[in-house]
Amino acid sequence: MNSDMADELSFDEPSVNDQLFSEENLPPGWEIRTVDDGRIYYVNHLTKTTQWEHPQSGKRYKVTGDLPHGWQKQYDSKGNVFFFDVVNRRTSHTDPRLGKNPSNYHTKRLDGYSNAMHVLNGENLTGKVAVVTGSNSGIGFETAKALALHGAHVILACRDMNKASKAAVLIRTTQTPEAYVEAMLLDLASFASIRSFAEQFRQRKLPLHILICNAAVFSSSWKKTEDGVESTFGINHLGHFYLVQLLGDILCSSSPARVVVLTSESHRFPDLSYSKRLNLSDVPLSKDKYWSIVAYNQSKLCNLLFSMELNRRLKSKGVTCNAVHPGNLIYTSLPKNSWFYWLLFLMARPFAKTAAQGAATVVYCATSRELNRVGGHYFNNCSVCLPSEESKNPDTAAKLWQLSEQLVRQITSNEEPVVNLELIQQLYVT
């Protein structure tokens, strides 16, 4: 095919039809290629010939628009165009804009072995702003990395700025310098820090399309946050609750927006009994009743109840919320404060998901087009699954919300954050 002749050709269509130009829709032996300005030609590997006309329609076409995020146009030694995917470090002679029907992005098979990069393959999140709490390592890091490498502006909201800054640099330097990722200080154990984060974010005049409540602790001993609340409940639930209260108007003004709350299958055992009910008179646990696994399980049930109630309250304003179980026995630094649980996780590591696999369902809920305007669900392995009966109880969710609001008022009004058991019992009694 002569490139000089190509300059004189006109085209019957201004752009590419995704369905028509999928490689799968060409006759056997044919391949689609483009020249420098986007004009399309066809290679017949059986006859060793090329032509401008589509083998089936007989028409000539041109691909237009920007390349997907992470792709670059390059040239070989003969001046021929090829494309380089800087995210996955691979080359292709096929223009990545061909055969990318947005409605079919998630028709690929997703399961427990999928990772975050697989879920986002082909996505372009340019223009989206995402905040991921606790994202300097583990699932949060893999979530933030995948979002950033597909074009989103990602904020690593972490309590350790040194680790968060290193994580941001790691994403940019080891993957692609195009990644727009930055670190901001957020300590969920401190209402003052949460307020400061929200104020700084507000001053940036940014939208907020995705908020991922990922940060969590597993404390082997009873501790209190800076504001006097038991730390497992305070960080895993109440800190995120307060953060959403402060950023809720930005989420609504950025609609459609999504909130993703990480929970766990352990939400099914809030008191390690067969009742499976959350006794709000024991939330948060007092020092004399504290047991680390119970405190953690209760906080995970609170995460799920919060997610359901938040979706009920904000879905009419264009904000949806879903809860995610990232996977069974994911090996992270979460139980590092307990030698027993550290040993348990170490033994389970060969059978556990990786952090990248754990992040798959998180980014799926944060970005999937299948979930547009869909909220109030519990996801595992990129699929909806059935949570506990207690987590679906709207009465319990509403009362937990009221309890959380009461604690926030006590803390923010400089009152002693002592749980009012009489009030809680009144809230819980139907």
Angle, helices 240-253 vs 292-314, to 10°: value is 20
CA dist 202 and 183 (Å) reads 15
Number of continuous H segments (helices) and E segments (strands) in the chain: 12, 14
The tokens describing 239, both together, are 């800190």
Local structure of residue 369 (DSSP, 8 states): G
DSSP 257-321: EEEEEE--GGGG-SSSSSS----GGGSSPPGGG--HHHHHHHHHHHHHHHHHHHHHHHGGGTEEE
CA dist 190 and 225 (Å) reads 7
* Sign of the alpha-carbon dihedral angle for 3, 5, 8, 12: negative
CA 360 to chain centre: 8
Residue type, 118: H
Please identify which residue in the block is written with the tokens 């059978």. 351
CA dist 361 and 206 (Å) reads 26
Sequence-distant (6+) residues with CB within 8 A of 395 are: 430
Local structure of residue 68 (DSSP, 8 states): P
- Choose the catalytic residue: 105, 296, 364, 378: 296
SS3 breakdown of the chain: % helix, strand, coil, rounded to 5? 40, 15, 45
Q: Catalytic annotation on 296?
A: yes
- 3-state SS assignment for residue 17: coil
The tokens describing 400, both together, are 């937990």
The tokens describing 112, both together, are 């427990």
Catalogue the E-assigned strands of 52-111: 71-75, 81-85, 90-92
- Catalogue the active-site residues: 296
